[in-house]
Structure 1
Amino acid sequence: MAMILVSYDANTAGHDYDRLLDALEGFGAYWHCLESTWLVETRMSIAQVRDSLWLHMHPDDELLVMDVTNAPASWVGFGRECGDWLRDNL
């Protein structure tokens, strides 16, 4: 399983992003403690993740997908639940 970082800017006022959020939650294990940044655990490639999420976005939006499996990480300012998830899953 890979840990994938997903970050996006939803630039289209009035566009319904509910299906995008459902798709992100559908990965199963996920972290979502920043407004438009997610960590998701998946067997999909970064291109597959990108393509599956882009289906629910508008052409004026922006999407970044990166594999951060075993990458060093550091954080500060998160509550216990968010910090514990990062510690336990990264």
Structure 2
Amino acid sequence: MATKLIAYDLNSPGQKYDDLIDAIKGLGAWWHHLDSTWLVRTSSSAEEVRDKLKKYIDNGDELLVVDVTGDSRAWCGFKESGSKWLKETWD
């Protein structure tokens, strides 16, 4: 398993986030404390995650998927629940 950072901008007016959010949550254990940014533990590659999610966005939207597994991480300002997930899950 690896941790993927998923970020998106849905630029088209009237976007429905529900299907995209459900698809992200279905990938594995997730963390979501920033508006359009998620961390997800998944065995899927970044390309596989992109391909699973791109059907939920429009042509003018943007999607970024990055494998962020590793030792380099730092954060501040999150509630305890957000920090706890990061400490326990992100490796």
Whether TM exceeds 0.5 here: the answer is yes
Q: CA deviation at 1:15?
A: 2.3
Query: Separation in 2 of the partners of 1:63 and 1:53?
Result: 8
Identify unmatched segments of 5+ residues in structure 1: none
Q: Closer, same or farther in 2 for the Cα pair 1:82/1:46, shift >3 Å? A: same
Percent sequence identity is 47
The alignment's TM-score, normalised by the length of structure 2, stands at 0.94
Query: Separation in 2 of the partners of 1:11 and 1:73?
Result: 29
What value does the CA root-mean-square deviation take over the aligned residues?
0.9
Q: 1:31-65, CA deviations, whole angstroms, 9 ceiling, x for partnerless residues?
A: 00101000011111110100111110011000110
The amino acid across from 2:53 in the alignment is L
Match of 1:24 in 2: 24
Aligned residues: 90
Listed as ranges, the matches of 1:51-90 within 5 Å are 51-90=51-90
